[in-house]
Chain A
Amino acid sequence: GAGVSQSPSNKVTEKGKDVELRCDPISGHTALYWYRQSLGQGLEFLIYFQGNSAPDKSGLPSDRFSAERTGGSVSTLTIQRTQQEDSAVYLCASSSSSYEQYFGPGTRLTVT
């Protein structure tokens, strides 16, 4: 079956612009996660959705970051007024159980 998909795969944007990243989880997976991975670094947790609600937003680095999930399926991560330090790979994962998370291929964001 189809895995987690993310779009775009690559995004280059100018500092100060807003970007929107999309995640399509595996059908039927109720949990959805966003992570960020900078070059040579581990994964940094951003936000977690259970259904459409986000019980844990503790990882969002600033109020420029927001995320939503509609219909218990697709999620979008929005970064407003992008900064160069936002450059990273943004990974989305979905899960039906509590622990095995299936990751998408990521969106590589470059802020110039």
Chain B
Amino acid sequence: RKEVEQDPGPFNVPEGATVAFNCTYSNSASQSFFWYRQDCRKEPKLLMSVYSSGNEDGRFTAQLNRASQYISLLIRDSKLSDSATYLCVAFYNQGGKLIFGQGTELSVKP
């Protein structure tokens, strides 16, 4: 079983739609979580951190449920420019490495 699991998609949604991605992690020692975004043939870039209390950045909301070992990302009012692969990431302070999920592909259509 992979340490961080995501539905690979693709999610095909119209502009303006709300879309949610889910992610589960298997190692309860994971201490921090993030969402990275990767455009086609580009490097990943940090989108946002994920906190237990939930955090919002404009149209993006991230949530962490430690009891269920579950992370989510909600995108409201989808834009064409949101089309990308969204990577769920767990960080282990011991060893200092990021564990990436496979990524969820999002395609926003006009």
Which residues of A pack against B, CB within 8 Å?
A: 31, 33, 35, 41-43, 45, 48, 50, 55-56, 58, 91, 98-101, 103-106
Instruction: Please state if B32 and A42 are interface contacts (CB–CB under 8 Å).
Output: no
B100 at the interface (CB under 8 A from A): yes
B43 at the interface (CB under 8 A from A): yes
Whether A45 touches B43, Cβ cut-off 8 Å, given contacts A98-B91, A99-B34, A99-B49, is: no
Instruction: Please state if B45 and A103 are interface contacts (CB–CB under 8 Å).
Output: yes
Instruction: Please state if A31 and B87 are interface contacts (CB–CB under 8 Å).
Output: no
Which residues of B pack against A, CB within 8 Å?
A: 32, 34, 42-46, 49, 87, 91, 93, 95-103
B4 (CB) vs chain A CBs: closest residue = A42
Per the bound structure, the CA–CA distance linking A90 and B73 in Å amounts to: 27
A55 (CB) vs chain B CBs: closest residue = B95
Residues of B contacting A: mostly: strand
Per the bound structure, the CA–CA distance linking A106 and B32 in Å amounts to: 25
Instruction: Please state if A48 and B43 are interface contacts (CB–CB under 8 Å).
Output: no
Per the bound structure, the CA–CA distance linking A101 and B71 in Å amounts to: 20
Instruction: Please state if B32 and A45 are interface contacts (CB–CB under 8 Å).
Output: no
Per the bound structure, the CA–CA distance linking A103 and B44 in Å amounts to: 6
Whether A43 touches B100, Cβ cut-off 8 Å, given contacts A91-B43, A103-B45, is: yes
Instruction: Please state if B100 and A98 are interface contacts (CB–CB under 8 Å).
Output: no
Instruction: Please state if A105 and B98 are interface contacts (CB–CB under 8 Å).
Output: no
Instruction: Please state if B95 and A48 are interface contacts (CB–CB under 8 Å).
Output: yes
Q: List 22 A-B contacts (CB under 8 A).
A: A33-B98, A35-B100, A41-B102, A42-B100, A42-B103, A43-B44, A45-B98, A48-B96, A50-B96, A55-B95, A56-B96, A91-B44, A98-B93, A99-B49, A100-B46, A101-B46, A101-B98, A103-B44, A104-B43, A105-B42, A105-B43, A106-B43
Per the bound structure, the CA–CA distance linking A43 and B88 in Å amounts to: 11
Q: What residues of B have a CB within 8 angstroms of the CB of A43 in the complex?
A: 44, 87, 100
